[in-house]
């Protein structure tokens, strides 16, 4: 019985081989194409991530389909070029995050934490056409909102020091998963943002943030590239904050007050 099964399998394989030979290269290409399509359709699901340590290391934050608003930080001293000796950045990102992956229909605002500097962000589509310009954003204030209604990759930029162009990107996709942060399940939130504060007074800042009805989802402490300066120490903290069902204007007003009192200069 086993021998007959083996013979049947051999006959089937030989028949397929004959069909391929007789049909010529067209059939072979067709079959190859079918297999290729099957493999390519097994694309990996986008995994949301709002971990501060991941944002620091990868310069990327991925938001889930429950997020309606994202607030990207323009960090203090982000306008400097990489590797400057006297005027180094605090971290190696012009924007935090420099790359945001969001769901279609997400609204983004840029929060200017660059003390004493105005910033204008210009957003361009894949063809290089400007689709949104924030106008001047004064420090400790947020830009007007912009909603990304079409999928695609949108690059944006702002002018920093002479000869320095600050760059970032927003990738808009149809993300199916809700946000799961590094510290807790956050599927009930609708807004995510970033803030940078000196680590030396972190308890005070967290207390102010939570008193304003804003959740500190997770944090990451890092040695800044400046090696320390008066008033801020040499360690800074990235704070990932979230809200759910809260007026965004009220949230940004609270963060503006806190930002204006930070000891950055």
pLDDT in tens, 199-227: 999 999 999 999 999 999 999 998 877 77
Q: Please give the structure tokens belonging to residue 126.
A: 């894949």
Percent share of the chain, pLDDT over 70: 73
> Which burial class, exposed, middle or buried, applies to 234 when counting CB atoms under 10 A from its CB (0-12, 13-18, 19+)?
middle
Helices first, then strands: H and E counts in the chain: 5, 12
Look at 133 and 265; give whichever has higher pLDDT: 133
More reliable by pLDDT, 236 or 228: 236
Top-level class of domain 52-260:
mainly beta
Q: Has residue 143 got a pLDDT over 80?
A: yes
- Record the pTM: 0.80
Whether residue 8 has pLDDT greater than 50: no
DSSP state, 234? S
- Distance CA(113)–CA(97), nearest Å, equals 13
Beta partners for residue 3, in sequence order: none
Tokens of 207: 């207390």
Please answer whether residues 246 and 191 qualify as being in contact, where contact means their C-beta atoms are separated by less than 8 angstroms: yes
Instruction: Give the mean model confidence (pLDDT) for residues 45-60.
Output: 91
Average pLDDT, the chain: 81
Q: Are 102 and 170 in contact (CB under 8 A)?
A: yes
pLDDT on residue 28: 30
């Amino acid at each position: 019985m086993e021998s007959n099964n083996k013979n049947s399998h051999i006959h089937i394989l030989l028949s397929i081989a004959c069909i391929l030979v007789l049909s010529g290269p067209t059939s072979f290409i067709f079959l190859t194409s079918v297999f290729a399509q099957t493999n390519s359709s097994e694309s990996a699901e986008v995994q949301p991530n709002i971990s501060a340590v991941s944002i620091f290391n990868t310069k990327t934050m991925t938001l889930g389909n429950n997020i309606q608003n994202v607030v990207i930080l323009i960090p203090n001293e982000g306008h400097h070029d990489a590797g400057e000796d006297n005027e180094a950045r605090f971290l190696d990102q012009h924007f935090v995050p420099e790359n945001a992956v969001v769901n279609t229909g997400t609204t983004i605002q840029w929060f200017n934490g660059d003390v004493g500097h105005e910033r204008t962000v210009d957003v361009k589509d894949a063809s290089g056409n400007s689709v949104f310009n924030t106008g001047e954003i004064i420090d400790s204030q947020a830009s007007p909102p912009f909603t990304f209604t079409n999928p695609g990759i949108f690059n944006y930029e702002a002018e920093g020091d002479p000869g320095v162009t600050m760059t970032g990107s927003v990738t808009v996709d149809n993300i199916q998963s809700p946000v799961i942060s590094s510290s807790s399940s956050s599927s009930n939130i609708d807004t995510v943002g970033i803030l940078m504060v000196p680590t030396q007074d972190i308890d005070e800042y967290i207390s102010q943030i939570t008193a304003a009805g804003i959740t500190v989802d997770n944090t990451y402490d890092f040695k800044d590239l400046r090696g320390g300066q008066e008033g801020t120490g040499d360690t800074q903290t990235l704070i990932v904050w979230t809200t759910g069902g809260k007026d965004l204007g009220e949230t940004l007003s609270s963060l503006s007050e806190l930002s204006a009192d930070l000891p950055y200069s």
